[in-house]
Amino acid sequence: MAKTKKAQRLDELAALIRRCTLCPLWESRTRAVPGDGRYAAKVMIVGEAPGREEDESGKPFVGATGRFLDHVLEGTGLDRADFFITNTVKCRPPKNRTPRKPEVDTCTSNYLFEQMELVNPRLVMLLGAVAAKKILGVKSINEARGRVIERDGRKFLVGYHPAVRFYREDLGEKVREDFALLKREIRKLKK
């Protein structure tokens, strides 16, 4: 089947991202990670930035974080191939530091916002403070997590990134709560 114009543009964006040098993060990457998944997904997941395994593979949410996502999705009738999964910035920052505001602004204005328009998801899960601050303008994760925020005709959820469990055990329960809400909202989409 021929690809739609939107799917073709998503592929073009991915190609641009892979050779992008618009912000300093290109210097620290092995591979840029444009994002992956269904072109017209109902659900989009946006993390912060690629980690080590993503940087090496060029794919989002691989390794332990990917296994966690697969586990969370059990019983929903969806798997990760039904989502579009990406990050706020597409290149791994040195030593996994938090991306800086100019990097976030450059990457989102050139790539993420257009990806979101093209995929046109009904539900977007923002993982981590960087994504939540940039896309919803909230000051912290806690200001937004645990509820559904309607904006521009879409539902947004905010949660902790699953990777946080590896260095903050105390946040493990909150991660489980965030993904339980995601699961409930996914079930509503299917009705």
Binding site for ligand SF4 (CB under 6 A): 17, 20-23, 25-26, 32, 89-91, 103, 106-107, 110
* Alpha-carbon separation of residue 57 from 51, 91, 92 (angstroms): 10, 12, 12
Least distance CB 17 / ligand SF4 (angstroms): 5
Residue placing its CB nearer to ligand SF4 in the complex, 45 or 123: 45
Q: Which is nearer to ligand SF4, 25 or 141 (CB)?
A: 25
CB of 113 to ligand SF4, least distance (A): 12
Compute the distance between CA of residue 73 and CA of residue 1 in angstroms, rounded to an integer.
28
**Minimal distance, residue 25 CB to ligand SF4, in Å:** 4
Nearer to ligand SF4, 32 or 158 (CB): 32
* Spatial separation of the C-alpha atoms in residues 91 and 23, rounded to whole Å: 9
Which amino acid would we find at residue 73?
L
162 and 61 Cβ atoms separated by less than 8 Å: no
Q: How far is the CB of 40 from ligand SF4 (least distance, A)?
A: 23
Q: Are 80 and 18 in contact (CB under 8 A)?
A: no
Residue 25 or residue 163: which is nearer to ligand SF4 going by CB?
A: 25
Q: What is the smallest separation between the CB atom of 114 and ligand SF4, expressed in angstroms?
A: 12
> Closer CB to ligand SF4, residue 90 or residue 134?
90
For 118, other C-beta atoms within 10 Å of its C-beta total: 18
d(CA 185, CA 101): 30
Phi and psi at residue 45, to the nearest 5°: -120, 130
